[in-house]
Amino acid sequence: MPVPKVLKGRYEIREVLGKGGMGVVYRAFDTTLKRDVALKTILDIADRKALELFHKEYEVLASISHPNIVEIFDLGEFEEERESMPYFVMPLMSGMALDMVIRTSSHRLTVERSVDIISQTCRGLQAAAVVREDFLCGVDERH
């Protein structure tokens, strides 16, 4: 699904950051506020369950203000093959994804660092008061 190069006359799409079972996250540039952002959209608008989960995700995120929950800056829709495709805009976070930290680390994570990561995750989930259906994204479920 090709996304327009500029959304809402404001967000310039720069590159794909990640792709999951439900959506795609892009690096974009907010030309109004002059900052890099992350922009997420859904992969398949025909998948009603995915669309419902996408809407639920941004509604939950937008309703929470917490240091361990990403903030929603904006949301909207763009036209793709005569379908309205939803998207939402979030801060672009620096650093590596946890699975990359674990895979590329020259040493094992210390117990203290592991506890810190799990504590931050739990605080975010507690603030959201929900456990997302795709919480295990990036985990190899074959084992």
Side by side, the strands of the sheet bearing 35-42 are: 6-7, 11-19, 23-30, 35-42, 83-91, 74-80
What pTM does this model have? 0.78
For residue 74, pLDDT over 50 is answered with yes
Indicate which residues carry an active-site annotation.
Answer: 134
Residues shown for the chain: 143
Mean per-residue pLDDT for 93-98?
86
Write b or e for each residue in 81-92: b if 16 or more Cβ atoms lie within 10 A of its Cβ, otherwise e: eeeebbbbbbeb
The string of pLDDT tens digits covering residues 26-69 is 999 999 999 999 999 998 878 888 889 889 888 888 888 889 88
3-state secondary structure of 59: helix
For residue 1, pLDDT over 80 is answered with no
- Closest by Cα among 31, 129, 42, 125 to 88: 42
Q: Do residues 22 and 53 lie in contact, with contact meaning Cβ atoms separated by under 8 Å?
A: yes
